[in-house]
Amino acid sequence: MKYLLISMLLMSCNAPQSNKVVAPGLDAAITTQTTMTTDTIVPAQFDATGQLVKVVKTNDAWKSQLTPQEFEVLREEGTERSFTGDLVNNHEKGTFVCAGCGLPLFSSEAKFESGTGWPSFFQPIKPEYVKINSDTKYGMVREEVECARCGGHQGHVFNDGPEPTGLRYCINSVSLNFVKN
């Protein structure tokens, strides 16, 4: 009787696991839905004075919205390891939006191969959609790129990019979501 009970318990423990194996597609779909809530373009809005309407949230609110890696990069100015981001080798036509608020930041038309291992662009969709700050961390003077609407850290901009701007916006994949045309 004792053995029967144990084996029944084991069977009931196994049941949900075997479900998972049977329907991997379903699991993947659920994961995508919960982690990529801003995988759409959320257009900019402007107030009566023509200023971009900002998105302001508490750290706790960001924490519950973002994945831990997104939070670290977007809200704590972290940097993903080069060549690890999922958008480095993305060559599809579409729009790269802020992973925090969905503001359309970069077009695939402005993406180029920099060889750095981070998605690189020669210009933002609109200059007013990015905010540039001076960053003196690590003993270097660099120009930090933020989303102008939610303040999410995107990466840095350097002046060794290709024509027509000569700029290289070096952006974390984690900070962006891609919306295919």
Interface ranges with Zn ion (CB under 5 A)? 98, 100-101, 103, 147, 149-150, 152
127 SS3 class: helix
CB contact at 8 A, 41 and 104:
yes
CB contact at 8 A, 107 and 96:
yes
Name which of 43, 29, 26 is nearest 179 in CA terms: 43
Nearer to Zn ion, 98 or 167 (CB): 98
Shortest Å distance, C-beta 27 to Zn ion: 29
Nearer to Zn ion, 143 or 162 (CB): 143
Catalytic residue ranges: 170
Nearer to Zn ion, 153 or 168 (CB): 153
Taking CA atoms, 129 is separated from 21, 46, 99, 171, in Å, by 43, 12, 14, 14
Shortest Å distance, C-beta 154 to Zn ion: 8
Half-sphere exposure of residue 159, counting CA atoms within 13 Å on the CB side? 3
